[in-house]
Structure 1
Amino acid sequence: MRILMVDDSEILLQETRRAFWQAHRSWEVLLAATGDDALKILARDPVDLVITGLGLPDMDGADLIHRVREMQPAAVRIALADHPMAEWIEKAEGDLHRLFIKPLDAEFLVKVVESLDAEDDSERQGAIGAFVSGLSKIPSLPTLYTELVALLEREDAGMGEVARLIRKDVAVAAQVLRSANSVHSASNRPVSELGQAVALLGMDSLRALVLFRGLVSGSEAKPQGLDLEKLWLHSFEVAAGTRQLAALEGETRLADLAFSVGLLHDIGLVVLALDPSNGYRSLLERAQSSRMPLAVLEQETYGVDHTQVGAHLLRLWGLPPAFCRPVREHHAPPATAEGFPLSQALHLADARHGGGRSAGIFADGRWGLHPHLLADPARFARWKACLAMDGALGTS
């Protein structure tokens, strides 16, 4: 991996290069103290990752980030801000993958880069990264999500503070209440207070919900050909079904993760639908009118599919491999897994639970179940019965 580090602090540059070298001898680190130096390096050398301060002595850091996207669109772009200036964030939004606020230490940046240096899909990583990063406006991490994560890192943070933060975004607040009432519909008492809804959903699920709503509503370019409300309904039902299967197997500690992964499993569809050529609309129409799997048509058209693109985006946003891997595998889950087979559960919920016929193009069931799901007949029968009991088992 080749990394370009740009900052006007010589101490930060040298500490970062030393930490990177100690952690991974194979990483090549290029240093630049100014935007002009950075541009000269970019014109000469291909890089995988650019980490730049926004307060450069000769150039607006947001302008440099924009030039990086133009010159090397496949490069991951991370910015470091001295403080959270709204005008910087707004200007760079759509060009940035991640934004961190100083001060931070070099070891933190090592962990960030390690999370991006994924072991999955290595042979396709270049094509996937080039597609996502090369969009005219990449899907940016929602500001509300960043604030939520920062709040939750405080030991003294309470549910009341979280609820007050969620109230800042009316659309997200409404979706939180709707989701809490849907998940806990068995209760005779509807959830009407946002604080209670936050507590019922759980923090991992809340983060996933903010990411979903931020992506589908926060981009200037709107996804072409997608019924976003139908996608939301499908994603939510898949999330609820995947959580049911985890609970059925006694994996209560994974229930929140299962719900969150289910909620974001098709997020790659939204990214592909941002294709400025508007070609994804016709691809969706072909999939709807034929028996060709959507992922196959995506591979033929783009060289990547929505499972790979979605997992890549979530990895750029800093979600861990345990979250990203099931998203990537939900069309073709592996035969075996350590512990609870989350990818298989997600696949079944997607194929047989996510809205049935009403889910249309989004439900995998129209293309059949993966054979790996049938390797354990007893578990398959148990899972199928669990989903059917909920009354949402669709026919396909």
Structure 2
Amino acid sequence: MLNGKTVLLGVSGGIAAYKAAAVCSKLTQAGADVRVIMTESATKFVAPLTFQTLSRHDVIVDTFDEKDASVVSHIDLADRADVVVIAPATANVIGKIALGLADDMLSTTLLATTAPILVAPAMNVHMYTHPAVQANMQKLAERGVRFIEPGTGQLACGYVGKGRLEEPEEIVAAVERFFQEKRLLEGKHVLVTAGATVERIDPVRYLTNDSSGKMGYAIAEEARRMGASVTLVTGKASIAAPTGVTVVKVESALEMMEAVLSRLPEQDVIIKAAAVADYRPAEQAEHKIKKNEDEMTMRMVKNPDIAQAVGERKKPSQLLVGFAAETQHLETFAQEKLKKKRCDLLVANDVTMEGAGFGTDTNVVRIYDSGGLVEALPLMSKGQVAARLLTLVADRLGKGR
């Protein structure tokens, strides 16, 4: 599974650094091309020669120790990595990454890479639970960094608790699962709607909602990473669209519906994450409406339901995922919406919860199917929600629903 993959292994200065040697060895045995960066303090626990022998590559410690004049080492390593694994990750290194510091080879390379990052923390139990460390980890999770949770048991300092570096076999398994996820949707066509629709009142005014597009964009990006051919039909959004996907920009609900239905036949999965206006002005003024009266009455008409239209038209082999942003009676409304719109899965969230509303980088969701609750996800980054959702989607596609 790891043949041809380049794994950048970052080793920081904790007693668990000796386990990183086993991680390096097992990754190499699994076929990975392992490149190792050590912090200066890590070399106090394990000699660089150990990793050099196991990886069969030079180990980089000093940012200014350029061994190949044809490249800049930290940029070269950052570019060639398919995934970055930091094991062990001390509280200090986690803090550096969260703050964007770059004062050694490892932290500098981490700022330069666009590869996914897996972090395996290892530290004293009180350090691990310290609010500063937890806040830094939360910040990284919101940016899409994945964590390999530490184990619970006897620590080197004598304490018993959570903070022990996960076993090398489990770290390697996490890397393998990461690459397995990347192939889950290979050859599939996925259409994602995202952002907020805009319903014009006149040429300078419109009705819209608070959707930022972040959830839909995260799904589109993760689907691409999993190998799918992705079409992103997007309304108004506050962030740039992900690269590597086909972007179709629309404004109104009617435009979004046309864009979705015209592309429906070739899709395997349709994910309706956009916040679509339920109503639109019955008439759109040709010119700017002037402020003449003390009151203004506007007649609204109902927009067509895009998810319901897809549910009525989709083939048995196609899978429809709907979204429901609610403020009360989450489960009841989610089940009603799933049934009415003929969704295969429905992702519901209470937007009044902290960290789960519009515009946030995190979400708290519950995923339903016709049988009820499938999975309740805790507060996590929208990228992590997207990864879990698409794993469920891929599993259902593979099992013929």
**TM-score under structure 2 normalisation?**
0.36
Q: Decide which structure has greater helix share.
A: 1
Structure ranking higher in strand proportion:
2
Q: Which has the larger radius of gyration?
A: 2
TM-score (norm 1): 0.36
